Amino acid sequence: MRRRPLIVGNWKMHKTIAETRALLRELRAAPLPPGVEVVVAPPFTALPAAREELREGTIELGAQTMHQANHGPYTGEISPVMLHELGVRWVILGHSERRAYFSETDDAVAHKVRAALAHGITPIVAVGETATEHEEHATLTRVTLQARAAFAGLAPEDVGRCVVAYEPIWAIGSGLVEEPAGANAVIGSIRAAVEGLEQTRMLYGGSMKGENAAALLAQPEIDGGLIGGASLQAASFLAIVEAARARAQTP
């Protein structure tokens, strides 16, 4: 079965409500290539406005993180129930910025994956190695450990309902990109490390732009992209979405 290309915009801590509406109007006005699935993940505060803007059209709504409990004494947190109510059907979990700055652990990611699936929200599980791990050739060890931990104990069919994003930390926001063949090899290794990932969509993230997207998306294992900086302007995001057209058309 062919895996449908998926392009996800992770807006991180960018865009007010007004800016969100403006960007989504631009995105909605553009003809999107058939067969390419497109998701945007604005900040929590902009989700209701984003939902309104996306009511017509095919772009779907994601969140950048969530708590695993349905409700409770967790000051500042947002639950899967709350996200689902807002029309959110995707959530990025275990992003390296969450792991580094907000102490998100592999164990927490595993709980969140289960909670998201239980609420009909597709987890996009982010894994990736640091610059030091990269230099020390510890990439495969790191990312397979993270992937195995995130999906530990899940039935293979549930693993197959998730998405994985390989984001080398040194490539995020740096302008440095992993070589397409190298990213392909890492993603292939992750796929092989966990039962159920055979048909799971696997994304590359880290300085993906219109200029390098086609080469990355031509790789057999890379089903799409998780885009930070280039998702903040319509033209640069749409260039990546457009680059996925060829992949969607490959039989």
- Of residues 122, 153, 114, the one with CA closest to residue 39: 122
The residues binding ligand 13P (CB under 6 A) are 10, 95, 167, 172-173, 205-208, 226-230
CB of 55 to ligand 13P, least distance (A): 25
CB of 229 to ligand 13P, least distance (A): 3
As annotated, the active-site residues are 95, 167
Q: From CA 197, how far away is CA 129, in angstroms rounded?
A: 19
Please report, as a single letter, which amino acid is at residue 242: E
- Of residues 149, 148, 156, 168, the one with CA closest to residue 226: 168
The residue (of 95 and 99) whose beta carbon lies closer to ligand 13P is 95
The residue (of 69 and 232) whose beta carbon lies closer to ligand 13P is 232
Six token digits for residue 43: 């900040």
Question: Is there a contact between 145 and 127 (Cβ–Cβ < 8 Å)?
Answer: no
The residue (of 24 and 208) whose beta carbon lies closer to ligand 13P is 208
Q: From CA 166, how far away is CA 95, in angstroms rounded?
A: 10
Q: From CA 74, how far away is CA 170, in angstroms rounded?
A: 32
Question: Is there a contact between 204 and 182 (Cβ–Cβ < 8 Å)?
Answer: no
For Cα atoms 48, 49, 51, give the angle at the middle one, nearest 5 degrees. 65
The residue (of 13 and 29) whose beta carbon lies closer to ligand 13P is 13
The residue (of 156 and 167) whose beta carbon lies closer to ligand 13P is 167
CB of 82 to ligand 13P, least distance (A): 22
CB of 70 to ligand 13P, least distance (A): 26
In the chain, which ranges are E strands?
A: 6-10, 37-41, 60-63, 90-93, 122-127, 163-166, 201-205, 224-227
CB of 227 to ligand 13P, least distance (A): 5
Q: From CA 243, how far away is CA 251, in angstroms rounded?
A: 16
